Structure 1
Amino acid sequence: MEIERIEGHPVFRRLAFERGCLGLVLAAAMAGTYFSYILTIAFRPALLAVPVTDDSVITWGIIAGAALLSFGFVLTAVYVLVANTRLDALSRRLEEDLR
């Protein structure tokens, strides 16, 4: 059967493994960063309430929140970069091998 032929192919196995590892690493990085932020809000909110400078209305909490949002965009860019280079190359190789 065609599905078994694809699933048994070493390039497919490599592609599935690399995509899974990439997703797991990026998700763990985002989750760890997000939960650190949330736990700081829950248990040490005074840390995030400190103004950036003495006469500023912007606090470190706002900076940390913006950094967290930016980190999500960076992780998305990393995923797109790896997917468009390494994973697409493996997909093309798999397609060529299965013709």
Structure 2
Amino acid sequence: MNDRAKALESLAAKRWQVSLILSAAMMFIYFGFILLIAFNKPLLGSLVLPGLSLGILLGVLVIISAWVLIFIYVRWANNYYDNKVAKLIDK
């Protein structure tokens, strides 16, 4: 196997690793929220502010965390992955 193929394989493994870490983080956040709904409804019904329950607040934070994790992946892909692929193509 030549150096380019090894570098490409290493790059693919790194992309897979980043994807798994971010996916695991999202699953932890989402399933944590679902388990909280299933096992502690009274807590989620408590009011944080008048008209705003903890459940609604956490639901919004789950959605925002998905956006943040997507932003992290896109930024990583644009700044690291794409640059490495471009360097491999130019060789």
Task: Assess same fold via TM > 0.5.
Answer: yes
Which residue, out of 11, 14, 38, partners 1:15? Answer: 11
Give the alignment's TM-score, normalised by structure 1. Answer: 0.85
> Which is greater in Rg?
1
Q: For 1:62 and 1:5, locate their aligned partners in 2 and report how far apart those are by CA, in whole Å.
A: 54
Q: Give the match's secondary structure for 1:52.
A: strand
| Residue number in structure 2 paired with 1:74 | 68
TM-score by length of 2: 0.92
Counterpart residue number, 1:88: 82
Shift of 1:13: 1.2
Aligned counterparts of 2:19 and 2:85: Cα–Cα separation in 1: 17
RMSD: 1.7
Give the distance between the partners of 2:75 and 2:51, measured in 1 at CA.
37
Shift of 1:5: 6.6
- TM-superposition CA deviations, 1:59-95 (whole Å, max 9, x none): 0000000000000000010001000010001111221
**What is the aligned length?**
91
Structure 2: which 5+ residue stretches go unaligned? none
The gaps in structure 1 that reach 5 residues or longer are none
**1:45 paired residue number:** 41
- Whole-angstrom distance in 2 between the partners of 1:92 and 1:15: 12
Structure 1 runs, 4 residues or longer, greater than 2 Å off: none
Higher strand share: 2
Identity percentage of aligned residues: 32
Q: Distance in 1 between matches of 2:43 and 2:89?
A: 53
